[in-house]
Structure 1
């Protein structure tokens, strides 16, 4: 970090530290709930998006930051959040993910028990566990570092999220945090963990996340999140294509939940806003937005069996390959091979980012796919920090991002990257295509 005067301006009053912050899903959620955050992010492109959005950021490796630059984190931080990488946990069918889970569980317990960290690191290197998988230990290491650092102390709230396969690790986290033993130094937490479906919180896509929320004893109990929308039937079978449109948007029964939110609803809601980069007029006919999406991924174990979703349904899980999904306005276009693609702002809206969120840098589709859906983040953070659900006014405001000046972006880049000497190795290196020799 650099420019002390600038730091005071941008880092004052920050409460949330977001590890593995990506382009800012949790930080966007925090903003609309009225909390300030700072993120640590390794990927330069995601950092560029964060700077453009006005989100305080340190461009650094999370492990290096903990070991060598821990004192640079504002002392006002009392909430630890993040979603560590989990590639090997997602391996399906081979058992590699399950084996990694059991191995990492043992390391979690060894860390809390107080075994020598150098020995643990060495054992990790020789264990065969993917180094990225081992990063799931980082939130625990950051907590222990805070407890053992004079003038810091334990975080009041911890929020972690990942793919559902990581839920068994959150269970071990919750068990150990509740006990307060070993290096936790008697600091006990109220903790719980769940598998959440994003469409049940108004996100217009089907996606499952494993979430852990822990609150330091004395700061209130942890209650399960209240869903706001109905689940989407993934096994709806060969029903009539129009059936989804026949369902009411809301249930007329008092206190009933809304129907899941569709792609068309989400995109239509922002398509007509002033200066919106989202324009779905190319999909409109007879005063309605109408299209269907063919997934880039196979289903049922058959790579050729590409799933389909109607515009009147939620999107498939938005991944870093979202730009490869094909969008068709009609069966005639499908048969003729005339397809469209979601733009980056449109993919962002399906993730519940504001329509005008300033996606920047390269690999923007990957940034979108890697992010936590901000609307889900609002529900999780609101429950963790305030013990309630976000208000309708807060959720409504979360569709538009405030304008960020170029000066603010440059100041945040100076804080996050400085002279680039402390950024991850070669992360700012620009690789230019080789020129062919002149004939």
Structure 2
């Protein structure tokens, strides 16, 4: 069994996907009490794969990686992303919440054969271009640490010189990065995240990100060219939404796409009763309770039922209304329940979440979809296995 270390685990989306890909964690850590309570509760309930997780609650800056015995094949995590979120405050490297230095320390001290780190798409903004390159080069050469009182731009310059001189020796990694849209990998949500994946240079591994298998065009074909989507959900013509733009694009397709159709909100939650319209029936599903107060306003109109959901967000103070709402075909809106949000993030159906609604939605809004994490981690594991036998 390949061993991993999961940093900044949160509600466990990335960690669950990594475990589903075949890694067994030697340590799983986060500082947030509510997120750790969620994981501990599911571990006590015996939920696979969390039942086998060694959970450490606390500040990763105080964690001694030397306590982890044996070889670590993979280090993963999503360093807190608030400094880089397009909806955040854009303080970037000046923000004390930036935990990338701790991710780099983990790589330096554990020397795993590979790592997977992810963050919000906002990290790719032009205003953060230099800092993103700084992160990439630090992950490439984790032993080349900043000197005391050295500013980050001066450290970046040293890393650039080291990178360009060639014939590099010592610990270093071959790093690739790409923005992935979760909808292209079978997640019922348009969620874009940047992934940084690295392999230790001495492994000689060649790798690329998994190819997408789902597309919007395939969904449009299924909805507006052959009616398979509507027939599958038993939606009569009179109840189908009017979307002339989507229908026009579908009619311009010359042939059926070879990809699978994007999954939609309806695909994800159609078997769940509406908690507002059928509250009695909904009580039979855990974490599936109606939350009042949803309203639509400019720029925040909710996620249409027959498209992948918009990106679920955690928010700075509570939950942003528009990103976490369902918009029905008649134009009415309501908040997604915790269970529906978990479905949109591809968490296991029998997983429960700890805390009040706003706290639970924060955990879900910060998570990586388990399905996307599993696909990326499976690709990494496949190459590690192949390299081990070659």
Specify the TM-score bucket, using the shorter chain as the normaliser.
0.5 to 0.7
Residue by residue over 1:72-126, the C-alpha shift from the partner in whole angstroms, topping out at 9 and shown as x without a partner, is 3343433111111122222569xx73x73xxx4xxxxxxxxxxxxxxxxxxxxxx
- Seen in structure 2, the aligned counterparts of structure 1 residues 359 and 308 have a Cα distance that, compared at 3 Å, is closer
Whether 1:16 and 2:4 are equivalent positions in the alignment is yes
Structure 1 gap segments, 5+ residues each: 1-12, 105-128, 147-153, 234-238, 272-277, 285-294, 389-439
Whether 1:383 and 2:385 are equivalent positions in the alignment is no
Q: Indicate the residue corresponding to 2:198 in structure 1.
A: 214
Residue by residue over 1:6-44, the C-alpha shift from the partner in whole angstroms, topping out at 9 and shown as x without a partner, is xxxxxxx67111111101011211222222123211111
| Residues 49 and 359 in structure 1, CA contact (< 8 A), matched pair in contact too | yes
Whether 1:372 and 2:355 are equivalent positions in the alignment is no
Q: Indicate the residue corresponding to 1:228 in structure 2.
A: 213
| Residues 214 and 222 in structure 1, CA contact (< 8 A), matched pair in contact too | no
Q: Indicate the residue corresponding to 2:60 in structure 1.
A: 62
- Seen in structure 2, the aligned counterparts of structure 1 residues 180 and 140 have a Cα distance that, compared at 3 Å, is closer
- Seen in structure 2, the aligned counterparts of structure 1 residues 91 and 247 have a Cα distance that, compared at 3 Å, is closer
Structure 2 gap segments, 5+ residues each: 44-49, 146-167, 219-240, 279-292, 385-390
Aligned residues: 301
Residue by residue over 1:210-235, the C-alpha shift from the partner in whole angstroms, topping out at 9 and shown as x without a partner, is 110001124311213211111589xx
CA distance in structure 2 between the aligned counterparts of 1:245 and 1:279, rounded to whole angstroms: 29
CA distance in structure 2 between the aligned counterparts of 1:210 and 1:155, rounded to whole angstroms: 21
Q: How does 1:238-249 map to 2 (within 5 A)?
A: 240-241=242-243
Residue by residue over 1:230-258, the C-alpha shift from the partner in whole angstroms, topping out at 9 and shown as x without a partner, is 1589xxxxx9437768999xx99798111
Q: Indicate the residue corresponding to 1:266 in structure 2.
A: 268
Residue by residue over 1:112-166, the C-alpha shift from the partner in whole angstroms, topping out at 9 and shown as x without a partner, is xxxxxxxxxxxxxxxxx12102x221111222233xxxxxxx1111111001232
SS at 1:312 equivalent:
coil
Q: How does 1:405-420 map to 2 (within 5 A)?
A: none
Shift of 1:205: 1.0
CA distance in structure 2 between the aligned counterparts of 1:357 and 1:187, rounded to whole angstroms: 39
CA distance in structure 2 between the aligned counterparts of 1:263 and 1:245, rounded to whole angstroms: 19
Q: Indicate the residue corresponding to 1:53 in structure 2.
A: 42
Whether 1:202 and 2:204 are equivalent positions in the alignment is no
- Picking from 72, 76, 87, the partner of 1:81 is 76
Residue by residue over 1:34-56, the C-alpha shift from the partner in whole angstroms, topping out at 9 and shown as x without a partner, is 22123211111111111223232
- Seen in structure 2, the aligned counterparts of structure 1 residues 165 and 258 have a Cα distance that, compared at 3 Å, is same
Q: How does 1:295-374 map to 2 (within 5 A)?
A: 304-320=298-314, 321=319, 325-327=324-326, 329=328, 331=330, 334=332, 339-362=333-356, 363-374=359-370
| Residues 323 and 342 in structure 1, CA contact (< 8 A), matched pair in contact too | no
Shift of 1:189: 1.8
- Seen in structure 2, the aligned counterparts of structure 1 residues 47 and 242 have a Cα distance that, compared at 3 Å, is farther
SS at 1:15 equivalent:
strand
CA distance in structure 2 between the aligned counterparts of 1:91 and 1:14, rounded to whole angstroms: 36
- Seen in structure 2, the aligned counterparts of structure 1 residues 72 and 246 have a Cα distance that, compared at 3 Å, is farther
- Picking from 106, 121, 129, the partner of 1:142 is 106
Residue by residue over 1:273-313, the C-alpha shift from the partner in whole angstroms, topping out at 9 and shown as x without a partner, is xxxxx4348779xxxxxxxxxx9799xxxx73433432110
Q: How does 1:254-293 map to 2 (within 5 A)?
A: 256-268=258-270, 271=271, 278-280=272-274
CA distance in structure 1 between the aligned counterparts of 2:60 and 2:173, rounded to whole angstroms: 24
Shift of 1:341: 2.8
Q: Indicate the residue corresponding to 2:97 in structure 1.
A: 132
Q: Indicate the residue corresponding to 1:44 in structure 2.
A: 33
Shift of 1:179: 5.7
- The TM-score normalised by the length of structure 1 is 0.60
Shift of 1:343: 1.5
